[in-house]
Structure 1
Amino acid sequence: MMKLWRRTAGAIKDRSSIWLATLSPRTPYRHPDLEAAIIRATSHDGAKIDYTNARRVFQWIRTSPVYLKPLALGLSSRMEKTRSWVVALKGLMLIHGVFCCQIPSVQRMGRLPFDLSAFEDAHSNSSKTWGYNAFVRSYYAYLDQKSSLISSEAKNVKKELKPLLLDELIKIQTWQSMLDMLLQVRPLDEDMKGGLVLEAMNNLIFEIFDVYSQICNGIAQVLLDIYETPGKPEASLALQVVKKAATHVEDLTQYFEICREMGVLNASQSLKLEKIPEEDIKDLEKIINGSVNFHGKDNGGEMRSELRNGSKRGLKTVITDKWERFDADCCSSTTLQTPFASCSSSHLSLVSKPVHKQDLPDLITF
């Protein structure tokens, strides 16, 4: 009876909000139809997502950057007022999908236009909603930091065409920290493993592959550059990056296992991540302690030639053409499924990547 009452009350709130939105005048900051679509896409109905209106929001954003301000205002107003974890989670999935449209105006947005860092659901007992509250807060924290980061990177691209090696290493460390935040977005309560949370987790698998691909590609490139740059500080920082990547293998394995137990579609396949060999880390340590000179010689001058010839030895996992190919291509139609509507396709996916046909690298095998 209580659930029925909450559902009815939520539906009434949504209809009232839509009615008020349609009465608002159209200005550079207000767009009644867009606001109504946002409300429908973030309804109080926890049993479903309105994919049609989510696609309409994405279409507006793709059409023109002038719709970004009405989107920011409409979604911000919706998120700041709500005390429902269902509405909050749908709003986060919606803005996550907007990011995947890869529109320059969105990439320059900066921090999210709303704050859910202290979100608490007010429609149920806290003993039943604490897990949802934590999920919303951690999901928000990640998206907020990502929005800020991609905005900063977009500005830096204009200033510097060829980033310094040290800057590239710092960038990789930043994305590794982002991956740490992303892996914290998970259900903490057994009762949460279904419904909207399951849908959100399915989206997060795409995000993990996207972030991890940037880390892999970055490592592959900078480690090749290490052999061209006579700088121990860079090699030392690269060593930290590689060691962190090794710990991420363990973290990702655990995360995917949790997702499989939940029944997350995109983690349902038998996923195995191979550890970074100790030999690869030792090669970097040799550079730092001076046993390898920066003309590419190591006990007979073989390390550089092995690296160039693609030998099985010497950074064999970190620096390979397979690692360099590890990007959004891993999210192909043969590996990851799209359960809701993509910004870039007709599939039903709020968060998804373009379809590609490249193979997965040797660090991630099925």
Structure 2
Amino acid sequence: MKLWKRATGVLKDKTSLWIAKLSRKTPYRNPILEAAIIKATSHDEDHLDYKNLQRVFQWVRANPLHLKPLAWALAVRMEKTRNWVVALKGLMLYHGVLCCDIPKVQGVGKLPFDLSNFSDGHSRSETTWGFTVFVRAYFAYLDQRSAFVASEVRKHSKKIRQGKLKVEDTLMEELERLQKMQGLIDMLLQIRPQNQKMECSGLMLEAMDCVIVEAFDLYGKIYKAIERVLLKIYHVGGKMEASIALKVLKKAALQGDELSSYFEYCRDLGVLNASRCPKIEQIPGEDIRDLERIINNGATQKKDHSDNDDDEKKRFVERDNNTIIATIDKQSESQEKWLKTVITDKWEVFEEDCLVDAKEFPSNGLKIAASTNPFDDLYSLITYPPPPPPAACSQVLPDLISFY
């Protein structure tokens, strides 16, 4: 039966390729791109065609106009398939496209196909129901993720059109975004193998690699956004904002525990990226208690813990595209590597080391963590000229203070 199923899949793929090659090129159809999509989403359960995945990503990144024929070809293939292998490969392909940092892709919105009612029609339901559930859960997440990103892009563009030079969200807007992102985390946690047969599938492990990276990246964004929100609440926030933020923090703490268990489960399955991801950083209980104190007492300033020198931490907040860069322990030994103070007779100069490519500037001795994104290798599309080396951190500062 398995041999017959494999032969039927090969015949279907060859037929689709033959039809694609005979098709005429139009704004909605590109025979070469369509052939690459068919090969990348073949019926072969034991093989994922990385070469043609890379070709698809190359087409999209080389010219965003290729997104239209890509969406058309993939939608046609996904809508008519009844095979879980083709459906899962198609979702992985589109996931990689969504990860491309291209405005045209980010503004697409919902997926161009619908797999919410997908069911495998070529095997017995008792043996494929787990794959059906997996495909539906994966599609639901990608569809909601794409819609969320598109809404954020439209909101940002609207503010720019309104002439707002500094596009910065209000505290309530950031809290609403955090709640939506936490909803995406809940959807990600539903994507998991349902039985032992699925756990042994190589294609399933490849898909879980993509899910693991997505979950870790999304939780990291939530964690940084929470830091930014807390800073605003401590300075200008009220009881209502603090109440919403408290719910967000409690849910984030719960999701941190759930993700830790999820990653441990994936490590047991043998998912490669699960073993590479660092430990999930938990929400500090002190932040939750501070919000409860604000709600109960109406205080908007964070409690002073300066009496305890051993536990004192100093936060250096630097905005880079509205992102909190780091929280540094005041007493840590690593601080000397990142911050040096040079005292002169005129002023104090704070000299910060810059993060650079360790390969290009080996003398810095910095270690750059290797990316775990499973699509990274597939994004090597166009050879761009290397950026100019960063400006040296040691520079002569003008005397801005004059003494009379």
Structure 2-normalised TM-score? Answer: 0.75
Distance in 2, matches of 1:339 and 1:55, equals: 12
Which protein is richer in helix relative to its size?
A: 1
Determine whether 1:132 maps to 2:131. Answer: yes
Provide the residue aligned with 1:163 in structure 2. 169
Superposed displacement of residue 183, structure 1: 1.0
Letter in 1 for 2:224: N
Pick the aligned partner of 1:190 from 196, 204, 213.
196
Q: Cα deviation per residue 1:294-338 (whole Å; 9 max; x = unaligned)? A: 3x375xxx36x79xxx93499xxxx99349xxxxxxxx9846646
Superposed displacement of residue 250, structure 1: 1.3
Deviates more, 1:153-162 or 1:76-85: 153-162
Distance in 2, matches of 1:333 and 1:121, equals: 43
Determine whether 1:321 maps to 2:326. Answer: yes
User: Aligned pair in 2 of structure 1 residues 285, 103: CA closer, same or farther (>3 Å)?
Assistant: same
Letter in 1 for 2:44: D
Determine whether 1:83 maps to 2:118. Answer: no
3-state secondary structure, aligned to 2:109: coil
User: Aligned pair in 2 of structure 1 residues 204, 286: CA closer, same or farther (>3 Å)?
Assistant: same
Provide the residue aligned with 2:212 in structure 1. 205
Superposed displacement of residue 210, structure 1: 1.5
Distance in 2, matches of 1:210 and 1:271, equals: 11
Larger gyration radius, structure 1 or structure 2? 2
Provide the residue aligned with 2:186 in structure 1. 180
Distance in 2, matches of 1:21 and 1:170, equals: 45
Provide the residue aligned with 1:262 in structure 2. 269
Distance in 1, matches of 2:57 and 2:26, equals: 20
User: Aligned pair in 2 of structure 1 residues 223, 120: CA closer, same or farther (>3 Å)?
Assistant: same
- Is 2:50–2:378's contact at 8 Å kept on the other side of the alignment? no
Determine whether 1:289 maps to 2:324. Answer: no
Superposed displacement of residue 343, structure 1: 4.2
- Is 2:239–2:298's contact at 8 Å kept on the other side of the alignment? no
Determine whether 1:248 maps to 2:283. Answer: no
Letter in 2 for 1:285: E
Provide the residue aligned with 1:218 in structure 2. 225
User: Aligned pair in 2 of structure 1 residues 113, 311: CA closer, same or farther (>3 Å)?
Assistant: same
Distance in 2, matches of 1:344 and 1:283, equals: 43
Q: Cα deviation per residue 1:82-126 (whole Å; 9 max; x = unaligned)? A: 000000000000000001112111111111000000110011111
Distance in 2, matches of 1:91 and 1:212, equals: 25
* Structure of greater relative contact order (alpha carbons < 8 Å, 6+ residues apart): 1
Provide the residue aligned with 1:61 in structure 2. 60
Superposed displacement of residue 257, structure 1: 1.3
Q: Percent of aligned positions with the same letter in both sequences? A: 53
Q: Cα deviation per residue 1:201-235 (whole Å; 9 max; x = unaligned)? A: 01111101221121011101010111121421111
Distance in 2, matches of 1:90 and 1:212, equals: 25
- Is 1:109–1:151's contact at 8 Å kept on the other side of the alignment? yes
User: Aligned pair in 2 of structure 1 residues 26, 289: CA closer, same or farther (>3 Å)?
Assistant: same
User: Aligned pair in 2 of structure 1 residues 19, 210: CA closer, same or farther (>3 Å)?
Assistant: same
- Is 1:220–1:320's contact at 8 Å kept on the other side of the alignment? no
- Is 1:85–1:132's contact at 8 Å kept on the other side of the alignment? yes
Superposed displacement of residue 280, structure 1: 2.1
Superposed displacement of residue 26, structure 1: 0.6
3-state secondary structure, aligned to 1:342: helix
Matched pairs, number: 325
Distance in 1, matches of 2:368 and 2:119, equals: 37
Structure 1 runs not aligned, ≥5 long: 324-331, 347-366
Superposed displacement of residue 191, structure 1: 1.0
Letter in 2 for 1:162: E
- Is 1:265–1:337's contact at 8 Å kept on the other side of the alignment? no
- Is 2:58–2:379's contact at 8 Å kept on the other side of the alignment? no
Letter in 1 for 2:271: V
Aligned-residue RMSD, C-alpha: 2.5
Determine whether 1:38 maps to 2:61. Answer: no
Provide the residue aligned with 2:147 in structure 1. 148
Superposed displacement of residue 274, structure 1: 5.3
Distance in 1, matches of 2:76 and 2:327, equals: 45
Q: Cα deviation per residue 1:224-256 (whole Å; 9 max; x = unaligned)? A: 111121421111111111101110111111101
- Is 2:81–2:87's contact at 8 Å kept on the other side of the alignment? yes
Distance in 1, matches of 2:195 and 2:44, equals: 21
Letter in 1 for 2:268: E
Runs (4+) off by over 6 Å: none
- Is 1:93–1:200's contact at 8 Å kept on the other side of the alignment? yes
User: Aligned pair in 2 of structure 1 residues 32, 320: CA closer, same or farther (>3 Å)?
Assistant: closer
